[in-house]
Amino acid sequence: MKLKSAELEKEFQEVGAIRIPNFLNNEDLLRIKELYNELGLSDLNGIYSNVNNKSSEYNTKVDVIFQEIYKPSIEKYFEGHQIGGGAFLIKGTGNESHSSLHQDWNIVDEKKYQSAAIFCPIEDVNEKNGCLQVLKGSHKWFQNIRSFHTPTPFFNFNQVEKGLVAFPAKAGDAIVFRHNVIHGSKPNLTANIRVAAMVSVASKSANYLHYMKEGQKFKVLKADNDFYNKELSKLYSKNNINVEEIDLIEIEPGMVLEFSDFEQKYKQEFPDSFLCRIGKLFKRG
């Protein structure tokens, strides 16, 4: 998977995320808004996605339409890729609508392949209503495994002083970010719910997968569109899933991380300057 623009590819490699203006047109945004209206959401406080609790029929409908909408622009900007599942990512209002800094689940074998999310808001986003922010270069730090049963450690924004890059965007712009880059968003402090559509994109020859931790091993599960549209909601409701197992691997050091691993790496990548260390000493005094 590679961006056709050398400039965008360089930024994507260095930062872990990019903005592509005018990725979707007004007609695309209208179709997304009509689908959103079917959800009938109101008074949302946190972060919501339809794959958490909606019917497989509705999830499949969203997936098919989003992939159809995104396909022309993805083919315009990417090469050596495949398009994955589509879903809503909706941010409610108020202080509970923040998304702490984290990594998304692996959807491919990241030792061999790349994957990313393509996030398109249907209205303008900025720091006031919680635009995406990433920790520059953090996709290069680890080769850890993240999944439903093995979530990433989470950072609060007040624990990170350096390295954050904010991505404000106009309606229809795309923010493309690697699933393994540390990212999040601050609360939506406006009166309006923030609606965005997402699809995934990955290396063309990669198999989509999901890791399920059992003791000291990971079951590697086949994660095709049916997994996200039909089976994923069962995990949230604590029901058994029916998914093909394609591999079983031993858990090795570095696969499962704690907050301390992130904290140590962050301090290595963004060390305090001499003046900053002196300032902290005076504060403690």
Q: What are phi and psi of 100, to 5 degrees?
A: -60, 155
The domain spanning residue 207 has which CATH number? 2.60.120.620
Q: Where are the beta strands (DSSP E) in 94-216?
A: 99-102, 115-121, 132-135, 164-167, 174-178, 183-185, 194-203, 209-214
Band (pLDDT 50/70/90 cuts) for residue 6 is: very high
User: Is 107:207 a contact under the CB 8 Å cutoff?
Assistant: no
Q: Reduce the DSSP state of residue 201 to 3 states and report it.
A: strand
DSSP line for 245-274 = EEEEEE--TTSS--HHHHHHHHHHHSPPPH
Per-residue model confidence (pLDDT) at position 228:
86
What residues make up the domain containing 127? Answer: 2-284
Count how many Cα atoms sit within 13 Å of the Cα of residue 61 in the half-sphere of its side chain. 13
- DSSP bridge pairs for 249: 218
Beta bridge partners, 222, equal 209
Instruction: Identify whether the C-beta of residue 255 lies closer than 8 Å to the C-beta of residue 182.
Output: no
Q: What is the pTM of this model?
A: 0.92
C-alpha–C-alpha distance, residues 238 and 171, integer Å: 36
Count: domains in the chain: 1
Q: Supply the pLDDT for residue 282.
A: 47
Flag whether pLDDT at 147 surpasses 90.
Answer: yes
pLDDT of residue 91: 96
